[in-house]
Amino acid sequence: MEFFEAISRRYTHKALFSRQSVPEQDLRRIVEAAMSAPSAGNLQSPEFVIVNDAALIAQLAEVTGHRIIASCPALVAVLTKPRVRQVLDITTECLIADLAVAAGYLALAATALGYCYAWLDGPFVPEETRKKAEAVLGIPADRMLLQVMPIGHPAEEAPRRPKKPFEQRASWNRYAVVRTSES
C-alpha cells in the first residue's frame, strides 16, 4: 500500500476482531517500523512485547475486562523505561511523545500491511490493572506498560470518525485557522 493511502485508511478499530491469525513475520515488520520512530536523545525508550499466544491474550482480557482485547488474534504491548528520566535530563513528556510516535508508526505499518489495530491505553491507567497486566506479560519492575495495540482483521465494521478539513487545522505563513463554534 502506498504511504499516503495508508495514512488516509488508518483508523482506530473500536470493534471486535476476527480470530484470523496474523503471521509472525508481519508482526515483526510492524514492530520494526515502530522501532524506527524518532525518540528524544535517541534513547529509543519504547519497548514492545508481541503477544500472539491465545492464552496470554485471554489473561489480558480477563485482567482488563476489555472485549476488544478478548477478540484479537495478536497485540503489541508498548512499554517505556520511566526510570530513565531520573538518570538523564529527559522529561516525562518526552517519554510519552516517544511512545506516541512509535505507536503511530506501528499503526501505519499495520494499516499498510492490510490490518486494523486498536489504540488502548485507558485500561492500563488504574495502577492495579496495569500491574496485573505487567505480571501476565513478565514485564520487569523498571518498565511500565502504557498501552496495548490489538492487531488483526475486523470481525465487524467500526465507525470511522471524520477529520476536520485542512482550513480548520492548518494555515500558511501566519495563524489563520478557521475556527468553528466547537474549536
Domain boundaries, the chain: 3-168
- Write out the CATH class of domain 3-168: alpha beta
Cell digits for 2? 502506498
Average pLDDT of the chain is: 91
pTM of this structure: 0.89
pLDDT one-digit tens code per residue, 53-69? 999 999 999 999 999 99
How would residue 25 be classed by pLDDT, with cut points 50, 70 and 90? Answer: very high
How would residue 101 be classed by pLDDT, with cut points 50, 70 and 90? Answer: very high
pLDDT recorded at residue 75: 98
In this structure, which amino acid lies at residue 49? V
pLDDT recorded at residue 158: 84
Q: Which element (helix H / strand E) includes 77? A: strand 74-80
Per-residue burial over 8-24, b = 16 or more CB atoms within 10 Å of its CB, e = otherwise: eebbebeebbeeeebee
% pLDDT > 90, the chain: 71
pLDDT recorded at residue 159: 83
Residue whose C-alpha cell reads 485507558 in the numeric block = 122
Cell digits for 21? 491469525
Neighbours of 183 (CB within 10 A): 9
How would residue 85 be classed by pLDDT, with cut points 50, 70 and 90? Answer: very low
How would residue 82 be classed by pLDDT, with cut points 50, 70 and 90? Answer: confident
C-alpha 158/C-alpha 98 separation (Å) is 28
pLDDT recorded at residue 97: 85
| Strand-strand pairing, 116-117 and 144-152 | antiparallel
